Structure 1
Amino acid sequence: MSGSAPYQPLLLKIIHGVSAILAIAAMVTGFLVYNTFDGRFGKVPIPRIDQIIDIHGTFAVFFFVVFPALALYSFHAGNKKLLQKDSLQNLSQVSKPIWWVSLQRIANTLMLIAGFLAVLSGRMMKEEWLPTRQLNEIWYSLHLISWVFIVCCFALHILMSSKVGGAPLLLSIFSLNVRPQDSPKQWSTRLRNWLSNLSATSEGRIHHLMQNNFPLNIIEIIVLAGILTALILPLFFSGD
C-alpha cells in the first residue's frame, strides 16, 4: 500500500520521536518494576534492579512533560491521521485500502487514549506501595491495566503504520529533509495562528465541535482533561 516517500513535518518528527523513546523506556522499565516487586501474573528470572522505580519514574515524568505537546499536535495539525466520522463505518469494507487506513487512524487514536490513562494512573501512585507489597491499591491496578493497554496499542500503532505506509512511512520519520515552510522560523507564526483560532467565539467553537468530527473532539476533551487532572489531582493526595 506504500507509494512515494511521504513527508513528515519536522515538529512532528521531533515530538513523535521523543515521545516514542520515552514511551518505550517507560514501558520497559514499567515491566521491570512489576517483575521486581510484583510478579503475580508471571515474571522473568532476571537480576533485580533496586532503583528501578526511580528509573521508571524519571522516564514517566519526562513522558508526561512531552505528552501534552504530542496530544495537541495530533488532535489539530495531525487530526487527519486520527479517528474520522466514517472510520467505524469503513471497518465493514474488510481488506480494502480504506479498511486498513481506518484501522490505522483508530490505532493512532487509541495510542493517545492509552497514553493519558498511563500518565493519570501513574501520577496517582505512591513509590512506597510496591516495596511494602501494597499490591491491591486501585491506582496500581489501573496502572497495570494501562500498561497492558499501551503496549497493545503501541504494537497496533506500529503494525498498522507498517501496513498502510510500509517502509517509506517508517523511514520518513528519520529523514533529514525539511521543507522551507516547515522551518523552525515558521513555528512562532503557526503558533500565533493556532492560538487565534482558539480565541473564536463560543458559538463558533460549538458549531465546530458539532460539525467537524464530533467523536474526535470529544476524545480530545477527555484526553486533555485527563492530562490536566494528572497534573492537579496528585496535589490533593500528596499528604496521604
Structure 2
Amino acid sequence: MTRSVPYQPLLLRILHGISGILVIAAIITGFLVYNTFDKRFGKLPIPKIDPIQDIHGTVGLFFLILLPAFAIYSFHAGEKRLLQPDSIPKLSQFGKPIWWVSLQRLANTLMLIASVLAVISGRMMKEEWLPIGELDHIWYYFHLIAWVIMVCCLAIHVLMSAKVGGAPLLLSMFSGKFRTEDSPRIWFISLRAWLSNFSSNFPAEINQLMQSNFSLRIIEVVVLVGIIVAFVLPVFFSAGE
C-alpha cells in the first residue's frame, strides 16, 4: 500500500464494517418502527412493512452478539480513537485539527454508550406495546433516546473521518489488503500470547490500564457490564415499567 493511504488493521475493518452495517440497519428499521406505530414527532409517507418489528429485533440481536468483540477491540486496540484525558479541554480549540479529532473521539465513545442503552432497552421492551398504542413505557423512551444519540454520533463519526483523513481514510476501511503480521492465521496465536502475558502480570497490567486513561477505563467497565446486563436481564425480569 502507498504511504498516502493509511493502513487499518484487518480485524478493525471486519468488526467496523459488520457493526457499521448493523448499526445503519438498526437505525433505519428503528425509524420504520417509529414511523409505523408512533409518529408523535412527525412521520414520512412510507409504505407499512408488517414484520418491521421482527426485522428490527433481529438486527438488534445480531448487533448485541457482535457488540462484546467490537467493544473490547475498541477499548484496547482502538483506544486512540476514543475519549482521551485531554479530549474535553481541546474541544475549546474550535476550528483547529485537534478539535475535529477530539469531537470524533467523543462521538465514538458516546456511540458505544448509546449502543449499550439501545440493546438493554430493546431487550426489555415487549413486542405488543407499540402495536396496541402503549407508547409511554420508560424502556421505549430509553430506546428512542439511544436512537437519536446513535444517529448524531454516526453522522459526526462519518463527517469527522472525512474531515480528518479525507477520502484515503474512508477508502482504507474498505481495502481487502492486509500485511503479513495482520493475517487471520496468527490472530489466535496473538490472542493467546496477549492473554498469557496479561494473566501472568495481572496486577501490573490492571494498574497500568487504570493509570493510562482512567475515565475511559470507567466507561469500558460501564459498557461491558451493560452488555452483560443486556444478555441476562430479560431472563430474570419481565419487561415492563
Q: TM-score higher than 0.5 here?
A: yes
CA distance in 1, matches of 2:198, 2:187: 17
Structure 1 position 132 matched with structure 2 position 139: no
- 2:52 is the counterpart of 1:83: no
* Bigger mean CA deviation after superposition, 27-36 or 82-91: 82-91
Instruction: Please give the residue correspondences for 1:179-198 in structure 2 after superposition, counting only pairs within 5 Å.
Output: 179-198=179-198
Matching of residue 60 in structure 1 with residue 72 in structure 2: no
2:224 aligns to what? 224
Q: Does 1:215 pair with 2:206?
A: no
Please state whether the residue corresponding to 1:91 is helix, strand or coil: helix
Alpha-carbon distance in structure 2 between the residues aligned to 1:37 and 1:114: 22
Match of 1:173 in 2: 173
The residue number in structure 2 matching 1:39 is 39
Of the structure 1 ranges 158-167 and 195-204, higher mean CA displacement relative to structure 2 is found in: 195-204
1:93 Cα deviation (Å)? 2.2
Q: Return 5+ residue gaps in structure 2 as ranges.
A: none
Segment drifting more, 83-92 vs 163-172: 83-92
Q: 1:106 to 1:200 in 2, by over 3 A?
A: farther
Note the alpha carbon deviations across 1:170-205, whole angstroms, 9 max, x for none.
000111111000000110022113323442566425
Q: CA deviation at 1:213?
A: 0.5
Q: Which string of whole-angstrom CA distances, capped at 9 and with x for unpartnered residues, describes residues 36-84 of structure 1?
A: 1111111112211111000111111111111111101100111111111
Using the TM superposition, give the Cα deviation of residue 111 of structure 1 relative to its aligned residue in structure 2, in angstroms. Answer: 1.6
Match of 2:204 in 1: 204
Give the deviation of 1:208 after TM superposition: 2.0
8 Å CA contact 1:23, 1:63 repeated in 2: yes
Whole-Å separation in 2 of the counterparts to 1:239 and 1:82: 33
For 1:12, the equivalent position in structure 2 comes to 12
Amino acid at match of 1:105: R
Whether 2:115 is the aligned partner of 1:115: answer yes
Residue 57 of structure 2 aligns to which amino acid in structure 1?
A: G
Distance 1:11 1:239 in 2: 36
Contact 1:111 1:150 in 2 (8 A): yes
After superposing the two structures, state which structure 1 stretch, 94-103 or 200-209, moved more: 200-209
- Normalised by the length of structure 2, the TM-score is 0.93
Gaps of 5+ in 1: none
Q: Shift in Å at residue 160 of structure 1?
A: 1.0
Tell me the TM-score normalised to structure 1 length. Answer: 0.94
Identity %: 65
Alignment correspondent of 1:151: 151
Q: Tell me the distance in 2 between the aligned counterparts of 1:196 and 1:41.
A: 52
> Alpha carbons of 1:89 and 1:193: their partners in 2 closer, same or farther (altered >3 Å)?
farther
For 1:144, give the aligned amino acid: L
